[in-house]
Amino acid sequence: MWFVAVHIGAGNHESTNAAVDEANTCMRVALEAAARVLSAGGDAVSACEEAVVVLEDAECTNAGCNGPQVNLTTDGRVETDASVMSGSSNAIGCCGAVEGVRNPITLAVHLLRSQERRPQDRQPPLFLVGHGALAEAKDANLSTINYDDEPIHPRALIKHQDNATRYLLDTVGAICIDSAGHAAAAVSSAGIALKRPGRVGHAGCPRMGCCASNGSSTSAAYAFSCTGRGEHLVQGALLQHLERQVASMSAKAQVNDVINH
């Protein structure tokens, strides 16, 4: 038995029938991508990665390196954040303010896998930002994008130039539990509209955008992937609050407690 859930973020999404259909299709394709991994015996981290790659590539989400809905920085550039956590190893991989990595979640997973390998020489980083993150992606032969060859999507530029805030979109994410009972969670985002260059939101911060645990004899297993204004989520330590509560109340009570407080 396995489990997968995805989201395409809080925000004011378009409500036309076509937009709703596009969003539903995007999430269904992401679920199917993760399901293929899990049904074949793959691990939860890999399933999360496959789901989030689909969400990053979708045209209706504010995630990934390009697309009509991505939010740009004040100087009109695409900077992305992503993170992933394994509930079985407690390993984490995060990247922030990344420009030029086609699928930021793949870089986050690469950093997580480097942590799990536990090399005996140099300590691998779990969190990279900016130029260092892009350099690591290139060294790992991950797919990158050159905006001189693939310009920023014209609709994203128009939205930026108009300072458009009619449709405010946020983080995408996934949580999975594989057939071995291992949990994982992942998030990815292009951040808030008109953010300052170098800004890293909750999606790129360790245990702030997502967290997961297989549980123990005294605590329940869990996987969280959250969406909202990053500064508020980090300042309020939302996921840390949930982690503290997870062993002492039901899942429904946990959610209600967070919403009410």
Cα 191 versus chain centre, distance: 11
Tens-digit pLDDT profile for residues 131-190: 999 999 999 999 999 999 999 999 999 888 886 556 567 799 999 999 999 999 999 999
- For residue 254, what are its two tokens? 């946990």
**What is the pTM assigned to this prediction?**
0.91
Q: Which single residue is written with the structure tokens 């005996």? A: 120
Q: How many CA atoms lie within 13 A of 216 on its CB side?
A: 5
Distance CA 192, CA 203 (A): 11
**Closest-CA residue to 189 (of 100, 70, 37, 15):** 70
Q: Determine whether 70 is exposed, middle or buried from the number of CB atoms within 10 Å of its CB (0-12, 13-18, 19+).
A: buried
Tens-digit pLDDT profile for residues 175-233: 999 999 999 999 999 999 889 999 999 999 999 999 999 987 667 889 999 998 889 99
* Sign of the dihedral defined by the CA atoms of residues 221, 227, 228, 230, in that order: positive
Catalytic site residue from 144, 171, 218, 227? 171
Phi, psi angle pair for 133, to nearest 5°: -65, -45
* Sign of the dihedral defined by the CA atoms of residues 252, 257, 258, 260, in that order: positive
Q: Is 171 a catalytic residue?
A: yes
